[in-house]
A and B are shown apart, each in its own frame.
Chain A
Amino acid sequence: MSIFAEVPQAPPVAVFKLTADFREDTHAQKVNLGVGAYRTDDCLPWVLPVVKKVEKMIVEDNSLNHEYLPILGLPELRSAASKVALGDDSPAIKDGRVGAVQALGGTGALRIGAEFLRRWYNGTNNTATPVYVSAPTWENHNAVFSDAGFKDIRPYHYWDGAKKGLDVTGIMDDLENAPEHSIFVLHACAHNPTGTDPTPDEWKTIAEVMKRRKLFVFFDSAYQGFASGSLDKDAWAIRYFVSEGFELLCAQSFSKNFGLYNERVGNLTVVAQDKDNLARVLSQMEKIVRTTWSNPPSQGARIVAITLNNPDLFIEWKGNVKTMADRVLLMRDQLKAKLIALGTPGTWDHITQQIGMFSFTGLNPKQVQYMIKEKHVYLMASGRINMCGLTSKNIDYVAESIHETVSKVQ
């Protein structure tokens, strides 16, 4: 008798199922707006020119070996990545109280951070510390913190469906009422899935409450540069919190802004009060890494490290990132303009107010079903679309489909 005989099938991940259904669809005009990766106007994945250049440099460099990276990762990547998040002239970095752990993408960074916090934050092995994730949030946040051992994962108000924007009152209420020392997972920019971020003033208020109530700040930064086209602008919230004296963790992903989805390049930046605390924290994180993947992969890390540390390549990379961000902004403008021109019922300002890869269209589940079944336009049940799935060739069809859907289905 198999010991696995009674293992149940795990529920499918919604976004993967959506892509699978899309693939099987034979309709000529089908559009996939569920995909979570950048696409060019020809609807193809894009290898950044700077990445191609650096890959070639690496392959031709005979002095580079294939040895294990240190457990904490490639030092040049860790420091450069933290600098990108906190700014070149960050006082915290100058004070020597910023460190980092190279990780397998943003997920790996979140997991190492979560494992550390479960073991050493708010007591020892305190699995009862509440962890707050936004409602809605990236669906993997829950799993990462839960598998790291946290037993109490709660939503905090975030999206206001009625006004199609941030539920500021809701956020503030949750912050005021959360038990002290609760952990809050904040999206640094380009909130996934709503594309709606707090304004600088709203961030300031959030920070003030979090400081007063002793709440822990864990940033998830997967889209730096990709959201507005400016690295500094997209890191404003992180830098503000650091300047306000917070100790915090920031999980960074270079999957989207380097297009290195399959090389899993991430970084967990740690901001501590001083060198001594930092050293102790990193020593514990090293122990956690040793029993998870032992040493992180080298290939993608080298590409990112070389790019970030070379002034010319850095500029070239920023240009590539802006190219992606600009295309997304263009699609946003055009989609809104077309919906308005069609006289589509409702307001569509949120399309251009939201930022980053995703947009919460406001379509309800019935309307989403209609879009998929009748129009072969695939989007998430939440009404989330990936702007990168829009191209100059399909945007008219998508706009018309939304128009038809909203007009026919309530």
Chain B
Amino acid sequence: MRQTCNSDGGVGSTENVKARGITIFSIFVDTPTAAPNPETKLLADFKKDTHLSKVYLAGREYLNEEGQTSVSPLIGKIMQQICTDPTLCPEYPSSVGLPEFTRRATELVLGRDCHAIVENRVLGVQTVGCTGAVRLGAELLKHWYNVRGVWCGPVYLSSPCDDSLAGIFEAAGIQDVRRYRYWDTEQRGVCVQKMMEDLEMAPEQSVIVLSASAHCPTGSDLSQKHWRLLTQLMVRCRFFPFFLLPAQGLCHGDFEQDAWPVRLCASLGMELLCAQSFSHSFGLYGERVGHLLCVLKQSSTLLAVQSQAEKQVRALWSRPSVGGARVVATVLSNPAHHVEWQEGVKSMVERGILVRERLREKLRLLGCPGSWDHLIQQGGLYCCTGLNVQQVEFLEKRRHIYLHPNGCLNVSAINSRNLDYVAESIHLALTSVF
């Protein structure tokens, strides 16, 4: 077969495929293999592991006591209803998504009586999951933060943070991504002072990415007192807050409390972005139900900003998929469903708290060195154990327990069947590896 030749030759690597005496280069010959996604590799290693007691604690999904993801019977019932509803139209939704969904998602974060909503200066855009929301927010900032020229940052991310975040901003063309200190390994908590120090040094108009609650991956959050200090700093330095709220309700079992920092900033008249996800709180991961909230200072800018958001969306994914958003909108619009759903989320949180308490107790009984109070002080899906890289490796290689390299784990993946083994293993790691 004749083939097009890459006349650039291929710097470094040459792939010679001789067919009928013709040297053929693929046009992709210079495409290098991308570094594997660390999460993918970890999961692949786990799957290959044949050890009977193996435990995977590095997943992104909430698991029930049986170790499964699940949706509540309410969600199942609503999906059935939607499936058989003859009035629902298979048409293209608008680029900003289903209006009922964006309305409810906005109210959930800000509260129905929020001034910004009443004054019509809030934009809500349905997105493809939280990633889609962050990407869209990044694109909006890139294009419009500084109308006079292309804005390239800086954006500040917490250290540590979700490992895909930096890449999302870079993909949007924002190369200047920096870190602020957040998790202190010794204190096993948030190092507020260091965080403030780092932010004081940031240039004016920096964008600061903040976790509203249930910080990923540490589970450690700021107190309300510290949020007040932080917002004062942000106003003074003219920073722009970009909140992450992937699991509202799953931190404290209280939707208002989990969104409190966002409401605080809105009440202070600040402009902000907030990326939301309904994956965890509805168990609808595959459906990619996300939302980008944009609170503006003036209602006069709303239509223009919305038109630009639509423009960005049209070239990314055109319009979002509606299935999951319909379910969420149906629940949030119906008071009885809403209550039932909230109760379901509360019981997920209660189970998480129970796991944390039992783990801490078990570690105490084993005489495990160090303080383990941080386990119960943290909230949400994730927990940062404070184990170092060597100890994490020990857990993986010798005990077949898989954590993130940074020592963080998914609390919901621990259950009554594996708790003892996990606790014993952590104890072993701490007492035999330093």
Contact = CB atoms under 8 A, between A and B. Distances in A.
Contacts of B69: 65-67
Interface in A104-123: 104-108, 111, 115, 120-123
B271 A2 contact: yes
B348 to A, nearest CB: 15
B171 interface: yes
A272 B26 contact: yes
A5 B302 CA distance: 10
Contact of A259 (B29, B34, B90): B90
B296 interface: yes
Main secondary structure of the interface of B (DSSP, over half): loop
Contact of B310 (A10, A115, A121, A283): A10
Contact of A264 (B170, B296, B317): B317
A66 B62 CA distance: 11
Interface string B305-345: 10110111011111111111000000000000000000000
Given A67-B61, A121-B27, A292-B171, A1 B297 contact: yes
A283 B34 contact: yes
B164 interface: yes
Given A293-B129, A299-B324, A214 B5 contact: yes
Interface in B16-65: 17, 24, 26-34, 36-37, 40, 60-61
A297 B37 CA distance: 20
Contact of B32 (A1, A104, A115, A280): A280
Contact of A56 (B83, B92, B283, B312): B83
Contact of A147 (B29, B240, B316): B316
A344 interface: no
B167 A291 contact: yes
A291 B26 contact: no
Contacts of A392: none
A360 to B, nearest CB: 22
A286 interface: yes
A69 B131 CA distance: 14
Interface in A288-303: 288, 290-300
A311 interface: no
A4 B296 contact: yes
A93 to B, nearest CB: 15
Contact of A298 (B36, B131, B286, B297): B286
B318 A264 contact: yes
A213 B349 CA distance: 62
A160 interface: no
Contact of A291 (B61, B170, B283, B301): B170
Contacts of A284: 31-34
A10 to B, nearest CB: 4
B423 interface: no
Contact of A293 (B33, B297, B317, B323): B317
Chain B contact patch, size range: 35 or more
Among A3, A143, A261, the one with the most B-chain Cβ atoms within 10 Å of its Cβ is A3
Interface in B287-310: 287-288, 296-298, 301, 303-305, 307-308, 310
A273 B3 contact: yes
Contacts of B296: 2, 4
A7 to B, nearest CB: 5
B386 interface: no
Nearest to A283: B34
Contacts of B93: 262
B153 interface: no
A250 to B, nearest CB: 15
A74 to B, nearest CB: 9
Interface in B397-411: none
B281 to A, nearest CB: 12
Contacts of B304: 4, 7-10
Interface of B: 1-8, 15, 17, 24, 26-34, 36-37, 40, 60-61, 68-71, 79-80, 83-84, 89-93, 128-132, 135, 144-147, 164, 167-168, 170-171, 173, 205, 240, 271, 279, 283-288, 296-298, 301, 303-305, 307-308, 310-312, 314-324
Given A245-B1, A293-B316, A294-B132, 12 more contacts: A2-B271, A3-B240, A10-B310, A66-B71, A66-B286, A111-B316, A122-B8, A245-B4, A247-B3, A293-B131, A293-B135, A300-B321
